[in-house]
Structure 1
Amino acid sequence: MSVFSSSRLRSSVVSRLRAAGCVFAEDEARILLDAAATPAELAVMVRARAEGRPLEHVVGWAEFGGLRIAVDAGVFVPRRRSEFLVETAAGVTPGGALVVDLCCGSGALAAALAARVRGPVEVYAADVDAAAVACARRNLAGTGGRVFHGDLFDPLPAALRGRIDVLLANVPYVPTGDIALLPAEARVHEARPALDGGADGLDVLRRVAAETPQWLAPGGSLLFETSERQAPAALAVAGAAGLEAVLGWCEDRDATVVTATLR
């Protein structure tokens, strides 16, 4: 419980955040007031948020899939729409499954999936960003997950080839030309490799899909997020890799997920 219970102080923080353009100023004020241990820390946090730093980077965590996920400065912030990816993956993940979270960022997807599935799962994850890897190791410690630093499949143990039941790959899918259109919170404060998907947004997906059949177990599935606009091309990429792909969409979260299975 925060020591800052004064309605006057709360009102002051809300006003500062609202003036800075924070749409959910009341909710953010509550989070900041609960997170700060001292008045000086609160002042630093409010200033950082008012200057445009993502709230999750300011407080050091994000709410995702019912979990509190550690998110350090510069690390990709897990979006609420990606909870649909976790929910979809849970439907094809039996207890005892071998799960890999590729382009794992903070490890939020694997952590949330492990929390949803009945029975233990064997978790591995990898990311090219060292800061993200550090976060993922903290977030997946409770699952016994192992997190590797490197590009896509390269750092994974060779013994995983042909054994992966569920491959989560929240690949970057923003076309390079659209990066400038992203909100400053993402464009300025999150690692560019976590956002930039190349000319048409599908470059990283193509690399992942091309190698996926070598890594999946028979009947295993690759699941990834894409945009509604890119969905037909993304399905074609999965099909060209020899995977049987189906599309899922969640209107509430405006989320599009492809499940591509090795038959």
Structure 2
Amino acid sequence: MVSSLSESAVVATLRAAGCVFAEDEAALLVSAARTPAELTDMVRRRASGLPLEPILGWAEFCGLRIIVEHGVFVPRRRTAFLVAQAAALARSGSVVVDLCCGSGAVGTALAASVPGIRLYAADIEAAAVRCARRNIEPLGGQVFEGDLYEPLPDALRGTVDILAVNAPYVPSEEIAMMPPEARIHEPRVTLDGGADGLDVQRRVAAQASAWLRPGGCVLIETSRRQAPVTAEIFASYGLTPQVMTDDELSASVVIGTRPLS
């Protein structure tokens, strides 16, 4: 850790670069840097516009440090609501799949919340899978690389209790309005949900029943505006939908349950 004088200089540099939370970020950078030279490089990268989390090498999520690297989707605070809803349905021994897992933040947080789950995860992005393996495999989970369900073991078909999904749901035309940390530094495939933002959700819903056990649930993060349509999509594929919202986190999750019969 470097000196407090260095921290003051870091705050000034970050303020000049337009960082809104310069003091908080400076404290994190100073704590993470092992040498003054390393701190100088970290501050330079942050001031140039790179997101803070990949510079640190981790993102805070549900009270955990989730390993991330540059070019990987950074878990959002609102996604804690998805974790909470999934955790309420899971128990020790539940088969849980973190689909479109990114860094594996959702699966990692679920494993911390519900010890004893059988955890699997999948993502199409190689860098995300690399991070997810570092987060999930130490917990005994397995991570696969590929498109949605395609890389999952066939033995999981019809056995999954919880499908927790944070699929991209930003409409294509709205990508340009996102903060630069996301639209410039995160892969577009992790953000772009197509014309109405729900293309990937439709693909998830179309195959969900084949992977869920009877009574199992798929949970998808979406926006409050999109939630009613997401619920309709679930219903069209034979799932019983329920919309959950959290005003404090500005979060919405749609739960689709496979009927018992």
Give per-residue Cα distances to partners, 1:33-73, cap 9 Å, x unaligned: 00011111101110111111110011110011111100011
Contact 2:241 2:255 in 1 (8 A): yes
Verify: 1:76 aligned to 2:73, yes or no: yes
2:240 corresponds to: 244
2:101 corresponds to: 104
TM-score normalised to structure 2 length? 0.98
In structure 1, stretches of 5+ residues that fail to align are none
Percent identical pairs in the alignment equals 58
User: How far 1:142 sits from its partner (Å)?
Assistant: 2.3
Cα distance in structure 2, aligned partners of 1:135 and 1:179: 24
Name the stretch that deviates more: 24-33 or 14-23. Answer: 14-23
Cα distance in structure 2, aligned partners of 1:172 and 1:194: 5
Which of 38, 42, 47 does residue 44 from structure 2 map onto? 47
1:147 corresponds to: 143
Verify: 1:156 aligned to 2:157, yes or no: no
TM-score normalised to structure 1 length? 0.97
Count of aligned residue pairs for this structure pair = 259
Cα distance in structure 2, aligned partners of 1:89 and 1:46: 37
2:216 corresponds to: 220
1:19 corresponds to: 16
1:34 corresponds to: 31
Cα distance in structure 2, aligned partners of 1:19 and 1:233: 43
Verify: 1:179 aligned to 2:170, yes or no: no
Q: Given residue 33 of structure 2, which amino acid in structure 1 is its aligned partner?
A: A
Q: Given residue 106 of structure 1, which amino acid in structure 2 is its aligned partner?
A: S
**Superposed CA RMSD:** 0.8
Verify: 1:131 aligned to 2:127, yes or no: yes
Give per-residue Cα distances to partners, 1:162-186, cap 9 Å, x unaligned: 0000001100000011111111100
Q: Given residue 245 of structure 2, which amino acid in structure 1 is its aligned partner?
A: W
Cα distance in structure 1, aligned partners of 2:36 and 2:20: 24
Q: Which stretches of structure 1, 4 residues or more, deviate above 2 A after TM superposition?
A: none
Give per-residue Cα distances to partners, 1:60-93, cap 9 Å, x unaligned: 1001111110001100000011011001111000
1:65 corresponds to: 62
Q: Given residue 44 of structure 1, which amino acid in structure 2 is its aligned partner?
A: D
Verify: 1:206 aligned to 2:205, yes or no: no
1:259 corresponds to: 255
